[in-house]
Amino acid sequence: MKITSPAFKNNSQIPAKYSCDGRNINPEFDISDLPKGVKSLVLIIDDPDSLSETWVHWILFNIDPKTNKIRENSIPNKAVQGLNSWRKNEYNGPCPKSGTHKYMFKLYALNKILDLNQGAYKGDVEKAMKGCILAKAQMIGLYSRGQ
């Protein structure tokens, strides 16, 4: 399974357009090579370099496994958004106070659809996924303010 983005390469700088310094919209993602038996996908974007705790930027779950692209500034049809660290059900881009932060774009293929409502916390999503993950893919983006 793979997740890639035409907006930036793995382990490279995320364009400012997708951050709080720009339009603060989600970049486009391409999804490929899913395993057999996938019932839903989950995308979690977080920042483990945050000072206090891992900062959650976006949670999308119950993404249809037929989805091969998440378009810029959009969510796939019928996908559900969880609560990010700003306490919003939406994408919020990189916005580090200082230094370069690593942003983890984690995609999970599940053998079930999660029985969770919009606004679910990351911990609830992770708990609901336990024992149901068929595959995981990730990419890393870097962001420094003012670069």
pLDDT (tens digit, 9 = 90+) per residue, 93-144?
999 988 999 999 999 999 999 999 999 999 999 999 999 999 999 999 999 9
Q: Which amino acid appears at position 6 of this protein?
A: P
Q: Name the residue ranges covered by the structural domains of the chain.
A: 2-135
Which residues make Cβ contacts (< 8 Å) with residue 109, sequence separation at least 6?
1, 34, 35, 38, 41, 65, 133, 134, 135, 136
Helices (H) and strands (E) in the chain, counts: 1, 9
CB neighbour list of residue 74: distance below 8 Å, 6 or more residues apart: 26
The whole-number pLDDT of residue 50 equals: 87
Q: Quote the CA–CA distance of 38 and 110 in Å, as a whole number.
A: 5
CATH architecture of the domain with range 2-135: Alpha-Beta Complex (3.90)
Is the CB of residue 35 less than 8 Å from the CB of residue 111? no
**What integer pLDDT is reported at residue 146 of this predicted model?**
67
The DSSP symbol for 89 reads: S
Residue bearing the bigger pLDDT, 125 or 51: 125
Residue 147 pLDDT > 80, yes or no? no
User: In whole angstroms, what is the distance from residue 113 CA to residue 100 CA?
Assistant: 35
